[in-house]
Amino acid sequence: MVEPQLHRVTLPNGLRVVLAPDSAEGAAEAGRAPVVGVSVHYDVGFRSEPEGRTGFAHLFEHLMFQGSESLEKLAHFRHVQGSGGTFNGSTHQDYTDYYQVLPSAALERALFLEADRMRAPKITEENLRNQVDVVKEEIRLNVLNRPYGGFPWILLPPVLYSTFANAHNGYGDFTDLEDATVDDCAAFFDTFYAPGNAVLTVAGDIDVERTTELVHKHFGDVPAREVRPRPSFAEPHPSGELRGRHEDPHAPLPAVALGYRLPDPVGDLDAYLANVVLAAILSDGDASRLQQRMLHQESLVVDVHAGCGLMGAPLDARDPDSFTLTAIHTPEVGADRVIAAVDEELDKLATDGPTEDELARVTARWSAGLYREHDRVISRTLDLGSAELLHGRAELISELPRRVAEISAEDVSAAAKALRPDARAVLELEPASDASAGGAA
């Protein structure tokens, strides 16, 4: 795989730009089509929401698709799809991204669309009320009426963390969503959607000089606005085991989630990556330790997973970040027996470390998966943008396979040793007594 040569531009209004053209050699090797990915990452996510406005970052993501200064409602959809492209957005703990993949001939159209809504999205009472209803329905579908909805990413943080920023429900409370006003939205836009608080990434079949001209043409006159310093969301590690319980009316079986604090992914990246390798040794594939023991040998669980990051992917947030382990088990097994098995496997890894074969297997699988993902222009674009925003170095995505391969058995042993019972959260999820009756509320 030939990695893209990155080019950077910072506009006078503060917008940071990363350009990642496919090399002729790399495109030929991968058989890549003449397409481009365009993304904008804004440095605002769930953690930045003010108290009383839970779910606001995600709600605002929806509003950014409801028209802009020069375009009516649904025009963004029509122009991207009419060019043969796809688009979407997503809200994370520390950022919100907007992205599209189009034929390279439609690059200017994508840049115009993103610049126009960066300049002035159409925030109206009608659009706000409509999108509040859309978000509420999304919550009903994905959380309230789905088995294990919000488990663990919504339900575990209030047990593991103590501050509002880290512990609250990023999807949002219905009352908070309904109380949102147009003035709230305007203030949120002015505070967080300034060009200087964003990273524009363009990757794929592009000419750097021509793309730079187009970026200046469309984004250069977006007015600069003050960018407030990002506050620290740090909080102390747990000083004991924290316990929580949740009743899920739709879950057919009980489940348990364990949450631990991770090393700072920005300030202590190698220690963080040791936890990424540890999670893979524990649960990645049939040969992993927890799958072998808990699924195949002792039949303790029907599903088990370990990973870094509440949103399902590592390196998706700044500090504080979470190591999570989830298991769905039968009632007769019980959560304590599951937790005891996890602790035993962590103790073994803390004492003896992984084998050379385990390290080789998980690092090879992880690197292969990363290369496979980055053969897709949208994954490459999004990872470059988030790495530039969170770490200040989009080049990091090319370095990860090497850095993961350099993680030693001692590094993994140290990571396992840090996942202590006296510094973790335990969330037990129980089916409602009438869960067998089924049916959504």
The DSSP bridge pattern shows strands 424-431 and 255-261 to be: antiparallel
Q: Within a 10 A sphere around the Cβ of 158, how many other Cβ atoms?
A: 17
Q: Within a 10 A sphere around the Cβ of 148, how many other Cβ atoms?
A: 19
* Domains within the chain, CATH numbers bracketed: 7-219 (3.30.830.10), 242-437 (3.30.830.10)
pLDDT at 337: 97
pLDDT at 437: 42
pLDDT at 438: 43
CA distance 391 to 385: 10
pLDDT at 271: 98
What is the mean predicted confidence (pLDDT) over 275-304? Answer: 96
Residue 335 has pLDDT above 70, yes or no: yes
CA distance 348 to 328: 23
> Average per-residue pLDDT in the chain?
94
Q: DSSP class of residue 11?
A: -
- Asked which of 141-155, 328-342, 427-441 is least confident by mean pLDDT, the reply is 427-441
Band of pLDDT at residue 3, cut at 50, 70 and 90? low
| Digit-coded pLDDT (tens) for 371-419 | 999 999 999 999 999 999 999 999 999 999 999 999 999 999 999 999 9
CA distance 400 to 30: 20
pLDDT at 1: 47
pLDDT at 98: 98
Q: Would you say 349 and 416 are in contact if contact means Cβ atoms under 8 Å apart?
A: yes
| Digit-coded pLDDT (tens) for 238-250 | 999 999 999 999 9
Percent of the chain with pLDDT over 70: 95
| Digit-coded pLDDT (tens) for 53-76 | 999 999 999 999 999 989 998 899
- Asked which of 202-211, 392-401, 430-439 is least confident by mean pLDDT, the reply is 430-439
pLDDT at 23: 72
| Digit-coded pLDDT (tens) for 122-149 | 999 999 999 999 999 999 999 999 999 9
Amino acid at 5: Q
Residue 32 has pLDDT above 90, yes or no: no
Residue 27 has pLDDT above 60, yes or no: no
Band of pLDDT at residue 311, cut at 50, 70 and 90? confident
pLDDT at 440: 39
The 10 Å CB-count burial string (b at 16+, else e) for 173-209 is eeebbeebeeebbeebbebbbbbebbbbbbbbbbeee
| Digit-coded pLDDT (tens) for 290-299 | 999 999 999 9
pLDDT at 435: 46
What is the mean predicted confidence (pLDDT) over 229-257? Answer: 96
CA distance 82 to 398: 33
pLDDT at 439: 40
* Closest alpha carbon to 393 in 8, 36, 23, 47: 8
CA distance 198 to 438: 45
Percent of the chain with pLDDT over 90: 93
CA distance 25 to 2: 7
**Predicted TM-score of the model (pTM):** 0.95
- Asked which of 98-102, 228-232, 278-282, 299-303 is least confident by mean pLDDT, the reply is 228-232
Band of pLDDT at residue 33, cut at 50, 70 and 90? confident
| Digit-coded pLDDT (tens) for 170-190 | 999 999 999 999 999 999 999
Residue 99 has pLDDT above 90, yes or no: yes
Q: DSSP class of residue 25?
A: H
pLDDT at 2: 52
